[in-house]
Amino acid sequence: LILEEEEMIDFVSTDQEAPALSQAELKKQSMQEVRRSLPIFPYREDLLAAIQEHQILVIEGETGSGKTTQIPQYLLEDGYTKGGMKIGCTQPRRVAAMSVAARVAQEMSVKLGNEVGYSIRFEDCTSERTVLKYMTDGMLLREFLTEPDLASYSVIIIDEAHERTLHTDILFGLIKDIARFRPDLKVLVASATLDTERFSCFFDDAPVFRIPGRRFPVDIFYTKAPEADYLEACVVSVLQIHVTQSPGDVLVFLTGQEEIEACCELLQERCRRLGSKIAELLVLPIYANLPSDMQAKIFNPTPPGARKVVVATNIAETSLTIDGIIYVIDPGFCKQKSYNARTGMESLIVTPCSRASANQRAGRAGRVAAGKCFRLYTAWAFKHEMEETTVPEIQRTNLGNVVLLLKSLGINDLIHFDFMDPPPHETLVLALEQLYALGALNHLGELTKLDLINIFIITCDKYKCSEEVLTIAAMLSVNNSIFYRPKDKVVHADNARMNFVVPGGDHLVLLNVYTQWLESGFSTQWCYENFIQFRSMRRARDVRDQLEGLMDRIEVEVVSSQGDNVPIRKAVTAGYFYHTARLSKGGYKTVKHQQTVYVHPNSSLFEEQPRWLIYHELVFTTKEFMRQVIEIDSGWLLEVAPHYYKSKELEDSSSKKMPRKQGKTKEELG
């Protein structure tokens, strides 16, 4: 006996008769044989016919039946990518998007990133050749900003729909809407065997295609008494299985990286102590931030005589299928975002998972043979302490950022947005009120300038200068109160201001001010010496922090252009392309409306008068002045806004040199 009696966990089975455990038959099969052996394969033709016939189809199938890896390949084989059209498949989890794309590339014998690619936060592994694109639901949401009708896609698969993440829920509303005016777009909503009727109902009674599962019986065991320390209980249970049960791999569900690492360490250490008294135990973690080469290890077949134990987050519940699992250990917890509407605080907390989750987890044990699931809680707790299903994320989140995102997509009427489960009315109203208080929405609930800033931040992602753009956006939001110009020290103040001037324009000057302030350690003294208003700077810093949080939410990576100002000016152009002015006789003319405007005398470009400018805002005092201007190259406009500008509009009307001066001098303006 290796484990001491008191270390053993007492499990009780609720089943009357426990079917004998049959061993997994791990045959060596070729990749194509494996594809043909998946439960979905016999339904290939029927499925394609159903997709042909219906614009929107709900697809239900047991985890591991082949929905995620096979359906996009079937569609490709059936011609859905002709003419360079793409098939997009969303995943709520980054790890799943990467891992599944890698698998499909392998099945198709192509290099990942070519025909098959993935796009996740911080990483775009696609190319012009990519026709099967796996991505996080958040990334597809972002694509609506640049391509509101998703015109380059022939099929969108919203996978793992049952997860009901916030992003997936918003996608439901948006995709349902665009499907109306894009009859050629096919929409597939794929889900584990959960909730499919609700999806069908939401999508105007779309038919449900069911892929019958292959599932072996799973014996469920509960603990007799609640476990005080579920981490320790997991470790003991794994060892108990290892020494008492027949071959087969083990899957343990924990809530996050820290727990998983702790559990793996404990297991490894105890195995080391037991030494050769036990068979080899391979301990493998899997969680979102694990490097991808480590993630791939969980799929390696277990060597004969050894046993594999995979310690995973929820990711292994339905998103990833690991072959060979016979035993599941389920402590019954998961990490969930929770929102306190009263305090406005959002937090990640460990909570009991739902019964639906627990049943999905147990199901992982019965994929290849009859299995066993050890629940580290009592049968009573399962019945009485767990919720039936998981509450959709939209009902437990701070909606502020969601509102901003939807508004920037042009959706103003949020109260009537087609949510599958509308967020509580008061949460929505509170979010709108908060945004109004922040100045992000006006009294009509429309986005104000701050929104332009958001769009600008979103677009800047492409130019790899979000670090600088964040600062500029924050500074612009307080821009009229940064420089201090006391009447009795005008000369000093103007000199101090001149010291911040850098080539390119006012946005870069603001960036320079902030950067120097940061280098001073956000010093008050520094502000005083440089005629900068400390309070405005502090506010800019707060806004910057907020924007940074938003960027995280919309999955924009914070990167710096490393001193190159061209990407920054391009990003400004991308965000504000409709604020373009061209030098003409006697002043500037806005490009679209031919309105006469002037550079504000406070601008760093007042003297320089470049040919093409982007302005942040127009203010009318003695004339129409452009405040905060930046010099651009007219060619960039075609690059960033080809839908808005025609090259003819951007031709210089005369090749004559423009006058270097315009308007009146500072003094004349007062």
CB-based closest residue to Mg ion:
68
534 binds ligand ADP (CB under 6 A): no
191 binds Mg ion (CB under 5 A): no
d(CA 46, CA 43): 5
Stretch that binds ligand ADP, among 66-74, 120-128, 238-246, 354-362 (CB under 6 A): 66-74
130 binds ligand ADP (CB under 6 A): no
Binding residue (CB under 6 A) for ligand ADP from 38, 325, 452, 457 = 38
86 binds ligand ADP (CB under 6 A): no
Number of residues forming the site for ligand ADP (CB under 6 A): 16
Return the C-alpha torsion angle 33, 34, 37, 41, nearest 10.
Answer: -90
**Phi and psi, residue 544, nearest 5°:** -60, -45
Length of the chain measured in residues: 670
Binding residue (CB under 6 A) for ligand ADP from 11, 299, 419, 436 = 299
Out of Mg ion, ligand ADP, none, which partner does residue 64 contact, by CB within 5 to 8 A per kind?
ligand ADP
Parallel, antiparallel, or unpaired for β 56-61 and 186-191?
parallel
Token match 């940061």: residue?
518
103 binds ligand ADP (CB under 6 A): yes
Closest CA to 251 of 260, 213, 243: 260
Query: Residues 278, 281, 285, CA angle at the centre, nearest 5°?
Result: 155
* Closest separation in Å from C-beta 103 to ligand ADP: 4
Binding residue (CB under 6 A) for ligand ADP from 21, 43, 57, 68 = 68
Contacts of 138 (CB under 8 A, 6+ apart): 121, 167, 554, 555
Query: Residues 439, 533, 473, CA angle at the centre, nearest 5°?
Result: 40
Binding residue (CB under 6 A) for ligand ADP from 21, 56, 61, 399 = 61
Give 659's DSSP letter.
P
The strands making up 186-191's β-sheet, listed across from edge to edge, are: 123-125, 116-120, 132-136, 86-91, 153-158, 186-191, 56-61, 208-211
Please say whether the beta carbons of 144 and 150 come within 8 A: yes
65 binds ligand ADP (CB under 6 A): yes
Exposure b/e, 336-373, CB count within 10 A at least 16 = b: beebeeeeeeeeeeebbbbbbbbbbbbbbbbbbbbbbb
Q: Between 38 and 465, whose beta carbon lies closer to ligand ADP?
A: 38
Please say whether the beta carbons of 416 and 384 come within 8 A: no
d(CA 403, CA 146): 18
Q: Between 63 and 603, whose beta carbon lies closer to ligand ADP?
A: 63
Closest CA to 71 of 169, 172, 185, 189: 189
Binding residue (CB under 6 A) for ligand ADP from 81, 91, 99, 237 = 99
Q: Between 68 and 130, whose beta carbon lies closer to Mg ion?
A: 68
Out of ligand ADP, Mg ion, none, which partner does residue 522 contact, by CB within 5 to 8 A per kind?
none
Parallel, antiparallel, or unpaired for β 249-253 and 325-330?
parallel
Q: Between 285 and 610, whose beta carbon lies closer to ligand ADP?
A: 285
Binding residue (CB under 6 A) for ligand ADP from 67, 242, 364, 569 = 67
Out of ligand ADP, Mg ion, none, which partner does residue 285 contact, by CB within 5 to 8 A per kind?
none
573 binds ligand ADP (CB under 6 A): no
In 182-207, where does DSSP find H-type helix? 196-202
Q: Between 192 and 235, whose beta carbon lies closer to ligand ADP?
A: 192
Q: Between 66 and 352, whose beta carbon lies closer to ligand ADP?
A: 66
Q: Between 68 and 580, whose beta carbon lies closer to ligand ADP?
A: 68
Stretch that binds ligand ADP, among 56-64, 79-87, 523-531, 659-667 (CB under 6 A): 56-64
Q: Between 101 and 475, whose beta carbon lies closer to Mg ion?
A: 101
Q: Between 97 and 239, whose beta carbon lies closer to ligand ADP?
A: 97
Please say whether the beta carbons of 142 and 452 come within 8 A: no
69 binds ligand ADP (CB under 6 A): yes
Binding residue (CB under 5 A) for Mg ion from 65, 68, 191, 477 = 68
Binding residue (CB under 6 A) for ligand ADP from 165, 196, 321, 390 = 321
Residues contributing to the site for Mg ion (CB under 5 A): 67-68
Residues contributing to the site for ligand ADP (CB under 6 A): 38, 61, 63-70, 99-100, 103, 299, 321, 323
